Structure 1
């Protein structure tokens, strides 16, 4: 197969299955990075992830564990790019309010399903715009990589968190606690919403001060300094004649509440979905 992605814990391949000719994504997990597959717990995790089916999630179609500790996960292949590239493409579609809202609602529905639609809640643990695939022509989002941290050992799991921090998606409380949670997933969603509405990167490469390195901090300062032009892309308002600035600012406020430094102050996914439906009507 063709290598389409690499990380410290494994490699992604695009491959064509011999019998059916279908194109699949094969995720090879390095033996040194995973938990032992002969444990009851491991089989339970694979079964749980294999049961997950939702229109906004990339399903796990198959799994193979070899006798040398190697593990292979099989997923469908979607060749239409990810949300991070879409936001920064300069494409007219990326500033359309209807697209921004429907993508956010799709991601939120997927997270809500993981948190409340299963027998046991599943924490995504590595949500970022690069892990949201977009299906054309409707730009329907599909989240990948959910629950992957459950298959990795502590060292590899910590590496995922370190990468997440370096890319600007890690909730502040994870510096003290190592366990990802529903609340840390909500924080990552908030960062993605800020990306969608502002077009900015989650990490500010040229911060004016220490407190402007991460996007939520940059936005907090922009609010305090009344820099409205930094909060959202003005082209969004031009994309829809019926759209009011108040509506875009409500979306921005929701994103900022998801990024609250205190996990207990963040809304849960049901509350996020209710707010998004209200924003859709305004």
Structure 2
């Protein structure tokens, strides 16, 4: 059942004191950036300057025409909840468009002064395979709201589980995998300081009508306080995406994102979930471990979804099976228990592009 909400019931208009705090944070963030000469800051060549509105709304590229009233009054349907916030699909009346609105609970985030420099960074990042931040609202009681574009095909987890067959096509698997890798590659290599995603999973990969992937929620953990960040790690573990070495969110790094990326690749290849909640005591709960056991037990048929090969000619089947094997090897390398032997995102992208040649 759909539940319609008015976000204005949750978030009130900001006060002058909140605005002053917001402007002070931005002033010091920009002054620090100038003093450092950009040597230890995130930058993105495609980014434009943020626009600060008198109502406490910061707008980035793509959100120039948004207003506080339009965002807070937008009829919204709850499509996701977490320990730190709620995700809405909202109808922006003035622009006659849909948007994703993420409400962050005040008790789960850092202060407005602390998050504003991070928000400026996240709002500056632009890449064809990343979900952009188009606006950010900081309310008078510490509430915070992130605005993103809406993608009609939903998330990758739903697509894998509910698809009409497109998810079992080898070209689609490769296209989605390469797109995700390119997005992560941008976060890790194209900025002066890498952005660690911190919560990479198939539910945080959005798809458009052409099955192009967009990585969402990157760097969101940077806005959370230590308690909420630790809860995010626990959820990541319970969903099967947490690497063995990740104990605290502050220790998240590029290699931990690589592990999670490998799990997503295995989901795409097998059509299975990252964790088997119905596994027997003698079965492996986590997908990478289950597939390692399948290799040892010579159960190769479990390494990929059988529908991938349906309808292929003999020649196509040989080529596809070779690609599947190399893709599987790459995914398992990403899921290595030792972070030091996982491939870099550059190596992953190069390998994927070789596979599809």
Tell which deviates more after alignment, 148-157 or 116-125. Answer: 116-125
Could you say what secondary structure the match of 1:38 adopts? helix
Residue in 1 that maps onto 2:178: 105
Distance 1:204 1:16 in 2: 36
The answer to whether residue 341 in structure 2 is matched with residue 265 in structure 1 is yes
The answer to whether residue 82 in structure 2 is matched with residue 13 in structure 1 is no
Q: Sort the Cα spacing of 1:226 and 1:79 in 2 relative to 1 into closer, same or farther, 3 A.
A: same
Distance 1:229 1:206 in 2: 20
TM-score (norm 2): 0.75
Distance 1:97 1:106 in 2: 14
Aligned counterpart in structure 2 of residue 36 of structure 1, from 111, 123, 133: 111
State how many pairs are aligned.
278
Aligned counterpart in structure 2 of residue 74 of structure 1, from 135, 143, 147: 147
The answer to whether residue 356 in structure 2 is matched with residue 280 in structure 1 is yes
Q: Output aligned runs, 1:120-135, within 5 Å.
A: 120-135=193-208
Residue in 2 that maps onto 1:151: 223
**Structure 2 gap ranges (5+):** 1-75
Distance 1:68 1:178 in 2: 26
Residue in 1 that maps onto 2:3: none
Distance 1:102 1:177 in 2: 30
Distance 1:197 1:167 in 2: 18
Could you say what secondary structure the match of 1:75 adopts? strand
Q: Output aligned runs, 1:77-226, within 5 Å.
A: 77-136=150-209, 138-175=210-247, 179-209=251-281, 212-226=284-298
Could you say what secondary structure the match of 1:105 adopts? helix
Contact 1:187–1:258, Cα closer than 8 Å, also in 2: yes
Distance 1:90 1:9 in 2: 29
The Cα RMSD (Å) is 1.6
Q: Sort the Cα spacing of 1:32 and 1:198 in 2 relative to 1 into closer, same or farther, 3 A.
A: same
Could you say what secondary structure the match of 2:136 adopts? strand
What are the superposed Cα offsets for residues 17-66 of structure 1, whole Å, 9 maximum, x if unpaired?
34323322111111000011123xx2221111001111111100001111
What are the superposed Cα offsets for residues 118-145 of structure 1, whole Å, 9 maximum, x if unpaired?
2221011111111111111x20001111
**Structure 1 gap ranges (5+):** none
The answer to whether residue 305 in structure 2 is matched with residue 229 in structure 1 is no
Contact 1:97–1:239, Cα closer than 8 Å, also in 2: no
Distance 1:16 1:205 in 2: 35
What are the superposed Cα offsets for residues 169-190 of structure 1, whole Å, 9 maximum, x if unpaired?
0011013775211101110110
Contact 1:96–1:239, Cα closer than 8 Å, also in 2: no
Residue in 1 that maps onto 2:79: 4
Q: Sort the Cα spacing of 1:103 and 1:64 in 2 relative to 1 into closer, same or farther, 3 A.
A: same
Q: Sort the Cα spacing of 1:100 and 1:68 in 2 relative to 1 into closer, same or farther, 3 A.
A: same
Q: Sort the Cα spacing of 1:178 and 1:213 in 2 relative to 1 into closer, same or farther, 3 A.
A: farther
Residue in 1 that maps onto 2:327: 251
Contact 1:167–1:203, Cα closer than 8 Å, also in 2: yes
Distance 1:93 1:257 in 2: 26
Could you say what secondary structure the match of 2:129 adopts? coil
TM-score (norm 1): 0.94
**Post-superposition offset of 1:71:** 0.7
